[in-house]
Structure 1
Amino acid sequence: MPLQAYQPFKALYTLIAVAFETARFPFWILLYIHTAGRPHRKWTLRQAIRMRIVKAFLYHSSKVRVAPQLSLAPGTEKERFVVMEPATNSLYTGPTKDSEIVPTAIGGTWTPAAPTDVSNLEVVLHFHGGAYVIGDGRDRDTGFLARTLIKHAQATHVFTPQYRLSSSAQGQFPAALQDAITSYSYLVRTVGVPPSRITVSGDSAGGNLTIALLRYIEEHGADTGLPSPGCVWLWSPWTNIAAGLDAHEMESSPNYSTDYLNSEFGSWGAHTFTAGKDALQPYVTAYGNPFACKTPIWVQTGDAEILYEEDTEFVQQMESVKGNKIELFVSEAMPHDIILVGRILGFETEAAAAAKKAGEFLRAERAHL
């Protein structure tokens, strides 16, 4: 880890960063007053300023490696937070087998509450984003997302697992995939939700995890007894983790100036997640590794985000496989992952519109059954 990730250098760096960004803030306001000075002309002054704040915060947080400490205590979620024990050993095979990293108990949050009746459910199993180094799936992290999916995509329940992060010990691949299997098995085998009524969803790194879980079910479902879900939603999915190992790859994006993501954040996530592993293997980097899939997939991306080109190319790659059903929705003038951070950035309306499209896709697929 970099020197500034340790005390007292972390505290010193933080003080300098706060002073530096505070001094620059009036400049950004003056620059953004006119639309010509904003990173994107279609953004409001409020949106442009919020983007700048989030971009600075994410950059400096990455420099000092600020990561959450995950806990299995209920917290403010109270009875909506549940602890899931690992499923039977037979469910973890192939790429999830590791001599050091093994399945463990994890938590998860239900919104609006855990279901008491499994009939007429429309459950979204959602994996949060955060480059595999931040996020916890609790209200402060995915509360806006869960409420948006319930209101505009017409889900009845959203379940957000607190999977292990690569910013902590024993959190690199395949820890998160093990936890995704635990979560899906919990819904199907413990709660009793019919697989056809489960939409597996994920934003950013969570989108990467969703693709990995879907691939796992396609390749190992018959042997493990894991059935295919009814639908998949991918929100600004991080499909090319291998590219994140090279800071120049991200910085060369034509949308680098219109997104809050930065190479420092991507590099932190990519290096810790793939530590000692092959970053190009299909379960890590989905980009360039299309596969046959029985489950219909809906993908959202913003045309102003860094991952836009890779997301659209990934959709084309999956479309090239005979029998796959995949649909792309592009949010105009939008940065990365508005379903997760839309409220923070001021893009609530656009996040709601995307959620509505996701719901329409799901209901259309339901009608074909």
Structure 2
Amino acid sequence: MGILTYQPFKALYTLLAVALELTRLPLWLMIYTIRAARPHPAWTQAQAVRMRVVKAFLAHSSAVEVKTKLTLAPGKEKERFVITEPAPASVYKGPTIDSNIKPATIGATWTLKAFNPATDNADNVDVVLHFHGGAYVIGNGRDEDVGFLAKTLLKHAQVTHVFTPQYRLSSNPGGRFPAQLQDAITSYYHLIHTLKIPAHRITISGDSAGGNLAFALLRYLATHGDEVNLPQPGCAWLWSPWVDIEAASDPKNIGESPQYSTDYLGPGFGYWGATTFCPDGSGLKRSSAWLSPLNNPFATTTPIFIQTGRAEVLYDDDIKIADQFREIKGNKVELLVTDNAPHDIILVGALIGFQKDAGSIAKSAGEFLRAERAKL
């Protein structure tokens, strides 16, 4: 942690950062009236300006390490926010066993409506278990965080329910790996055993860091699922997944990406996430298969849909991991590349002006799900 993460330096930096960006905003508005001056010629002026604003926000937030406070209070989600207790201890195996990090009670949000086992036919639903992005350091799975994403999936992918856990964050005490994987298992166990939703009616989904977590849960189910009575899900959707934690621990890697100028992700955000998710001295390796699925593919019976943006810094990694999983006999992988799109439009499409593209990729994911189910 640097000096900027402590008061009063944090407050002073924040004040100066806000002042700086307010002086830059009119300049961006003026420059981006010229199409050739925009980071990507296919973007509108509004998209180009919004991208610059988000990039600046993430850079400054990373510098001062803004904390996301997690609470188990219902908040404005009210009855749609539910408390999920840990599964029996025997369900947590292998990489989830840690002397300092234990399974915990977490919250989760149902978007628009909660699944009700008393009235909903579990054999006729499509439930999405979605893990939010945010480099493992920000986000909470609530309406303010994933509301656009969840509503987009409900409308365009034509699923019936979206369930978004508030998993522990590595920016908070006790939030390093394997806290998030423990919470993912807790969430999946809740859907399978508490709510009695059949595994084939569940889609595991994740954007960015949430995509990394979705990969880890899929690996866990492929490795330990049979022995802990957790069958593999019917489908998986991975949106701009973050698949190389190790690379992010060296800030220069993002800066050297061919797509760096057309994305809002910067080196500080990934570095903050990587070094808190797997801190130095923790005894873990960031190249571990459980943390970095790139170059560590595995066999799975779950059909996988991967979406990435052609203009995002994770594009090359996402192409590689799709190819690596395809090479394993029995794996079913579909890759969708969205032209001109930056990182994670399914999560931030409304914020940066890519709502239409977000709806389109959600529709494709829904079609993939139904096509694969029809083969059963």
Q: Could you tell me the TM-score, scaled by structure 2's length?
A: 0.97
Question: How far off its partner does 1:198 sit?
Answer: 0.1
The count of corresponding residues between Structure 1 and Structure 2 is 369
Find the counterpart in structure 1 of residue 164 from structure 2. Answer: 160
Find the counterpart in structure 2 of residue 300 from structure 1. Answer: 307
From 121, 127, 146, give the equivalent of 1:142: 146
**Does residue 314 in structure 1 map to residue 293 in structure 2?**
no
User: C-alpha offsets along residues 178-206 of structure 1, whole Å, 9 cap, x if unaligned?
Assistant: 00000000000001111000000000000
Determine helix, strand or coil for the equivalent of 1:223.
Answer: coil
User: C-alpha offsets along residues 151-197 of structure 1, whole Å, 9 cap, x if unaligned?
Assistant: 00001000000000000011000000000000000000001111000
Find the counterpart in structure 2 of residue 7 from structure 1. Answer: 7
Determine helix, strand or coil for the equivalent of 1:211.
Answer: helix
**Partners of 2:106 and 2:202 in 1: CA distance:** 20
**Does residue 185 in structure 1 map to residue 192 in structure 2?**
no
User: C-alpha offsets along residues 328-356 of structure 1, whole Å, 9 cap, x if unaligned?
Assistant: 00111000000000000010000000000
**Partners of 2:202 and 2:63 in 1: CA distance:** 38
**Does residue 267 in structure 1 map to residue 271 in structure 2?**
yes
**Partners of 2:27 and 2:278 in 1: CA distance:** 39
- Give the counterpart letter for 1:331 in structure 2: T
**Partners of 1:230 and 1:111 in 2: CA distance:** 21
Find the counterpart in structure 2 of residue 288 from structure 1. Answer: 295
**Does residue 73 in structure 1 map to residue 77 in structure 2?**
no
**Partners of 1:366 and 1:325 in 2: CA distance:** 12
Find the counterpart in structure 1 of residue 209 from structure 2. Answer: 205
Find the counterpart in structure 1 of residue 349 from structure 2. Answer: 342
Question: How far off its partner does 1:24 sit?
Answer: 1.5
**Does residue 62 in structure 1 map to residue 45 in structure 2?**
no
Find the counterpart in structure 2 of residue 329 from structure 1. Answer: 336
Question: How far off its partner does 1:67 sit?
Answer: 1.9
**Does residue 219 in structure 1 map to residue 186 in structure 2?**
no
**Partners of 1:345 and 1:24 in 2: CA distance:** 17
**Does residue 352 in structure 1 map to residue 359 in structure 2?**
yes
Determine helix, strand or coil for the equivalent of 1:159.
Answer: strand
Determine helix, strand or coil for the equivalent of 1:222.
Answer: coil
**Does residue 242 in structure 1 map to residue 249 in structure 2?**
no
Structure 2: give runs of 5+ residues left out of the alignment.
none
Determine helix, strand or coil for the equivalent of 2:61.
Answer: helix
Structure 1: give runs of 5+ residues left out of the alignment.
none
Determine helix, strand or coil for the equivalent of 1:160.
Answer: strand
Determine helix, strand or coil for the equivalent of 1:51.
Answer: helix
**Partners of 1:241 and 1:64 in 2: CA distance:** 21
**Partners of 1:112 and 1:19 in 2: CA distance:** 38
- Give the counterpart letter for 1:200 in structure 2: I
**Partners of 1:67 and 1:290 in 2: CA distance:** 33
Question: How far off its partner does 1:221 sit?
Answer: 0.8
Is the CA contact 2:309–2:341 (under 8 Å) kept in the aligned structure 1? yes
What is the correspondence of 1:81-160 to structure 2 with a 5 Å cutoff?
81-116=81-116, 117=120, 118-160=122-164
Question: How far off its partner does 1:119 sit?
Answer: 3.6
Question: How far off its partner does 1:113 sit?
Answer: 1.4
Find the counterpart in structure 1 of residue 236 from structure 2. Answer: 232
Determine helix, strand or coil for the equivalent of 2:130.
Answer: strand
User: C-alpha offsets along residues 9-41 of structure 1, whole Å, 9 cap, x if unaligned?
Assistant: 011001111111111222211211111000000
- Give the counterpart letter for 1:274 in structure 2: C
Determine helix, strand or coil for the equivalent of 2:305.
Answer: strand
**Partners of 2:244 and 2:67 in 1: CA distance:** 22
Find the counterpart in structure 2 of residue 171 from structure 1. Answer: 175
Is the CA contact 2:123–2:201 (under 8 Å) kept in the aligned structure 1? no
- Give the counterpart letter for 1:191 in structure 2: L
* Cα-Cα RMSD: 0.6
Question: How far off its partner does 1:295 sit?
Answer: 0.4
* Identity in percent: 60
**Partners of 1:115 and 1:294 in 2: CA distance:** 26
User: C-alpha offsets along residues 107-156 of structure 1, whole Å, 9 cap, x if unaligned?
Assistant: 00002211221241100000000000000000000000010000000010
Find the counterpart in structure 2 of residue 253 from structure 1. Answer: 257
Q: Could you tell me the TM-score, scaled by structure 1's length?
A: 0.99
User: C-alpha offsets along residues 19-64 of structure 1, whole Å, 9 cap, x if unaligned?
Assistant: 1111122221121111100000000001111101111111101101
**Partners of 2:25 and 2:86 in 1: CA distance:** 47
**Partners of 1:29 and 1:335 in 2: CA distance:** 19
**Partners of 1:232 and 1:177 in 2: CA distance:** 16
User: C-alpha offsets along residues 222-241 of structure 1, whole Å, 9 cap, x if unaligned?
Assistant: 11111000000000000001
- Give the counterpart letter for 1:303 in structure 2: R
**Partners of 1:233 and 1:90 in 2: CA distance:** 28
Q: After TM superposition, what 4+ stretches of structure 1 lie above 6 angstroms from structure 2?
A: none
